Amino acid sequence: MEPLTEALLALLLSAILSLLAWRLGLLTGSGSLSAFVVGAVIGVFGSLSWLLVLLVFTFIGFAATRYGLGKKKEKGLQEGRDGERSHTNVLAVALPPCLVAVLSWALGMQGEAIASVAFIASISVAASDTIASEMGVMYPDVWLITTLEKVPPGTDGGISVMGSVWALMGAVVASVIGWIVIFPENPFSLLVLIPIIAGFLGCMADSLLGATLETAGYINKYSNNMITMLLGSLLAVAVYAII
């Protein structure tokens, strides 16, 4: 496919799905606009396949957000009023993969495997953390990752057995789908374990930072998301380069 055609398709797809997400109440107006910009950056500076992976993650995240929404609202643990996400939510999970896309383009590595592995890893961290957070709050037995003290669901740095299981599942699903879409010529490569592990460890790092720097007020949950996603990408790149 010609680069111009691919870029135009990325813009069109981003516009349609951002508008649809807004109409369905999944995103606020600012969230929808941010999602369009993010989709355009990923599709133009990365690739159309990268954009498709991002869209799959987005709708998995929406599904996890909507699951058990009534119970989440009773506990005051939902995003927004009814689970909708604003530009701050969108940018917190989208800036790292956007950075990967722009850097890969600027360095002339747009089509290289290592850039795609970094991108998949960033999405894997986001999926792991989002699904663990949205599903984990449904379980009452939560412990602080640093002290193992029992804490209420939704506490920064709180982890649970089932939340950790969901975190691993999120990393697996995002990484496997991302790998199949981006590397269709080698869909069963064991190298998919790199973004899976990076995604899960990134989610655990998110909890660790949540219990320490975030609780202390040095960072907020949005910067925490961005830091851990970047760490996940860097870890994946380092391991891939060594292998």
pLDDT digits (tens, 9 = 90+) for 40-86: 999 999 999 999 999 989 888 878 776 766 665 555 555 555 557 78
| Long-range Cβ contact pairs of 158-162 (< 8 A, separation 24 or more) | 158/207, 158/210, 158/211, 159/204, 159/207, 160/136, 162/135, 162/136, 162/138
Percent of the chain with pLDDT over 70: 92
pLDDT at 229 over 90: yes
Q: For residues 100 and 232, is the Cβ–Cβ distance under 8 A?
A: no
Secondary structure class of 211 (helix, strand, coil): helix
Reference 129, options 36, 221, 28; nearest CA is 221
Give the chain's domain count: 1
Q: What is residue 162's predicted lDDT score, i.e. its pLDDT?
A: 92
Q: 0.85 cut: is pTM over it?
A: yes
pLDDT at res. 178: 97
Separation between Cα atoms, residue 129 and residue 172, nearest integer Å: 12
**Mean pLDDT, to the nearest integer, of 6-29?**
89
Taking the CB of residue 16, how many other CB atoms lie within 10 A of it?
Answer: 12
**In terms of residue numbers, what domain contains 228?**
3-242
The per-residue pLDDT for 128 is 96
Name 114's Cβ contacts closer than 8 Å, sequence gap at least 6.
237, 240, 241
Tens-place pLDDT, residues 148-202: 999 998 899 999 999 999 999 999 999 999 999 999 999 999 999 999 999 999 9
